Amino acid sequence: MSSIANSLDVRAKEPGLFRRLLRSRSGAVGILLITFYLVVGLLGALGLTPFPPTEQHPERLQEPDSTYIMGTDLHGRDIASRIMDGATNSLRVALLSVALAGTAGTLIGTFSGYVGGLLDNVIMRIMDVFFAFPAILLALLVVVVLGPGLTNTTLAIAIVYMPIFARVARGPALAVREMEFVTAARCIGIPHWRILLLHVLPNTLAPLIVQVSLALSWSLLTEAGLSFLGLGTRPPQASWGVMLSESRGISEIAPWLMIYPGLAIMLGVLGFNLLGDGLRDTLDPRLRGRR
């Protein structure tokens, strides 16, 4: 009944998705970076920052020294603590938004592809509406409508990336729907939802996993971008984008304001990109090297 599911089980058990991932150079570096990011984010979430991230010290624009290892900003807040808090916030936004977008998008896409016909057409046209904008502008619009803040940024990013997941999931669903075993399954009276769940969905997994990793990096970038424009994370909560934006014009006097948040964003995005590359190489050798 569930040959596909079985084969997927086998694949998962086959020693090594993780080990194979580690064996690929990009996968290993990606995992390393992301682990580091997760640890920093976790420390931030637990409040284990050197200083409270919003505390204002009298030492404004202090150069990095032994007390403030990454210096302080215009308000006298400790950059290192804010970087950690920023990691927590951006991780929260990235994970939640991708989880939302991934789940909703996959369900919509799979359903749409499986059902086909007019409904499929209508659903995909609606998705097209979201595709008719540059992602950042769409996210910006959504945030303005919903109001800024972590939750709304999460929602905005989820809305922006949901159609991408829908498209990715729809393709395989469309293909599987024509396959013999699905017809067979339908003939012996297996309900649609079971077919969807057991036969269609597993087939979309490989591309989706790759997509998740890429979406995480986009989400990180989008959050930073929105925050840079003052529309993402609400101040005084820290966000790498806000920090970078605050460095404008005064980075001449205080380059550390720009360097550390900049590095943080780059390493975070790099981590997810590399993981994505690694996953793609491991899961789907045919896609190797494509982007």
Q: Which of residues 158-197 bind other proteins (CB under 8 A)?
A: none
Point out which span in 106-114, 161-169, 182-190, 268-276 binds other proteins (CB under 8 A): 268-276
By CB under 8 A, is residue 102 in contact with other proteins?
no
By CB under 8 A, is residue 47 in contact with other proteins?
no
By CB under 8 A, is residue 224 in contact with other proteins?
yes
By CB under 8 A, is residue 245 in contact with other proteins?
yes
- Smallest gap from Cβ 7 to other proteins, in A, equals 28
- Smallest gap from Cβ 53 to other proteins, in A, equals 12
Contact in structure between 242 and 232 (CB atoms under 8 Å) = yes
By CB under 8 A, is residue 64 in contact with other proteins?
no
Closest CA to 155 of 164, 144, 146, 166: 146
- Residue 67 burial (CB count, 10 A): 13
SS3 content of the chain, % helix, strand, coil (to 5): 75, 0, 25
Give the C-alpha separation, 268 to 236, whole Å.
22
- Smallest gap from Cβ 6 to other proteins, in A, equals 33
Give the C-alpha separation, 101 to 167, whole Å.
12
Out of 43, 69, 209, 258, point to the residue binding other proteins (CB under 8 A): 258
Out of 165, 228, 256, 260, point to the residue binding other proteins (CB under 8 A): 228
Give the C-alpha separation, 103 to 213, whole Å.
14
Question: Does the N-terminal peptide bond of residue 53 adopt cis geometry, omega within 30 degrees of 0?
Answer: no
Between 2 and 41, how does the x/- string for binding to other proteins read (CB under 8 A)? ----------------------------------------
